[in-house]
Amino acid sequence: MQYKAFSPTPPGSRKVILATNIAETSVTVPGVRFVIDCGLQKRRKFNAQLGIETLQIHPISKSSAAQRAGRAGREAPGKCFRLYPSTHFTSFAESTTPEIRDCDLTSLVLTLKIQGHDDILNFPFLDRPKRESVMRSLEILYLLGAIGNDGKPTEVGKQMNQLPLAPELAKVLLSSAGGEANCAAEVIDIIACMTASTASSNAIFLTPNAEKREETMENRKHFASATGDHITLLQAFQEYQSVLKAGNNGGSAIKEWCQRWGINRRVLKNVLEVQKQLLGYCERNSIPVTPAERPDKDAILKAFLSGYVMNTAILQKDGSYRTTFSHHVFHSSDDVLTLDCGHPSF
């Protein structure tokens, strides 16, 4: 689909391209004469205090606005139409904040540790990250067993760094393959679902429209598990694979199955690709993967707990939950958890 942006425009037609920030500087699409700039961008923001990464909409910077305008007329005269008043433009920052200031640094810190850089806080970054983000990353790596008391990377940390996953998910996968209950096959399926959804910014379950919302939500109970979303994803993906292997009516059976249960077929195709990659990594790194006839749900959840122990919370006497490490309070109301941390964004 992306290659269509670069294909020649048929005579008598106009090509309209919807682009993300990647079109600002990374690529040049030939033939563009007009640019429409909304003045907004989606950026990942990592809250080091809470350990939460979110995708938020922010105003662009003046330098980004100039780059966007520069996409028009690179080969011939062109125009840029900005969908915001000049007063908004003057309030924009001069330049875009470096991504290293806003992202999760855990994978980067682990890589630097394995390369022999002990003093991460004083590492000569081109753009210095936030100190609290570095400290949070070191704390997480210690809790995961990726670095020891001496600050040096452990064997587990070196194994985690070989996997194409965030350290938390790498720990989950390694934990699932150890011990008596090997649930690595099921954990790989869940991780593939999580990774593919994050990469595409699309969930496996489609958001129903208002007319079919009740019907879709009722159908979704077919996959629902009382043990949580991880097992729900696993059950949906395993049924998808069963329909795929049956191969009845070619692709029509899969199409009907996805429509019936409100499943995003395109995301599931990406899940299969991620699953294949993870199985290949496990084979090359001698990580045993043994599919089970019946998934051991307790073993699966324990594996995820080993990687996300910093995300745990303890039930308080008043019915609220206090997070184990950051000590923030959650208030439970029906199926909604509200975080009480005094921050308007949460």
The closest alpha carbon to 189, from 281, 107, 258, 291, belongs to 291
- Residue 281 sits in the same domain as residue 182: yes
- Residue 255 sits in the same domain as residue 295: yes
pLDDT in tens, 109-130: 999 999 999 999 999 999 999 8
Residue in the block written with tokens 């949906």: 236
| CB neighbour list of residue 113: distance below 8 Å, 6 or more residues apart | 120, 141, 146, 147, 151, 152, 153, 157
Band (pLDDT 50/70/90 cuts) for residue 50 is low
Supply the pLDDT for residue 26.
76
Supply the pLDDT for residue 250.
59
Instruction: Judge whether 172 lies within some domain.
Output: no
Q: How far is CA 177 from the centre of its chain?
A: 23
Please give the C-alpha separations between residue 310 and each of 137, 305, 333, in angstroms, as whole numbers.
11, 9, 23
Supply the pLDDT for residue 230.
92
CA angle 29, 35, 40 (to 5 degrees): 105
Q: How many domains does the chain have?
A: 4
Instruction: Judge whether 76 lies within some domain.
Output: yes
**pTM for this one?**
0.77
Instruction: Judge whether 239 lies within some domain.
Output: yes
Band (pLDDT 50/70/90 cuts) for residue 60 is very high
Supply the pLDDT for residue 332.
63
Supply the pLDDT for residue 340.
43
**Quick check: 343 pLDDT over 50?**
no
More confident of the two residues 216 and 98: 98
* The 3-state secondary structure of 83-94, one letter per residue: CCCHHHHHHCCC
Instruction: Judge whether 328 lies within some domain.
Output: yes
Lookup: tokens for 83: 């969908």
| Rounded Cα gap, residues 199 and 172, in angstroms | 19
- Residue 299 sits in the same domain as residue 318: no
Mean pLDDT along residues 296-313: 90
- Residue 335 sits in the same domain as residue 293: no
- Residue 239 sits in the same domain as residue 298: yes
**Quick check: 346 pLDDT over 50?**
no
- Residue 317 sits in the same domain as residue 234: no
Domain range for 144: 102-162
Supply the pLDDT for residue 342.
37
Query: Is the Cα torsion angle 95, 100, 102, 103 positive or negative in sign?
Result: positive
| Alpha helices (H) in 92-227, listed in sequence order | 106-114, 131-143, 155-162, 167-177, 184-200, 213-220
- Residue 187 sits in the same domain as residue 270: yes
Supply the pLDDT for residue 336.
46
- Residue 196 sits in the same domain as residue 271: yes
How do beta strands 321-323 and 313-315 pair?
A: antiparallel
Band (pLDDT 50/70/90 cuts) for residue 333 is low
Supply the pLDDT for residue 2.
76
Band (pLDDT 50/70/90 cuts) for residue 302 is very high
More confident of the two residues 37 and 286: 37
**Quick check: 334 pLDDT over 50?**
no
- Residue 16 sits in the same domain as residue 88: yes
pLDDT in tens, 245-284: 887 655 788 888 988 888 888 899 999 999 999 999 999 8
Supply the pLDDT for residue 201.
60
- Residue 40 pairs in a beta bridge with 59
| Rounded Cα gap, residues 93 and 89, in angstroms | 9
Lookup: tokens for 309: 């122990």
Instruction: Judge whether 346 lies within some domain.
Output: no
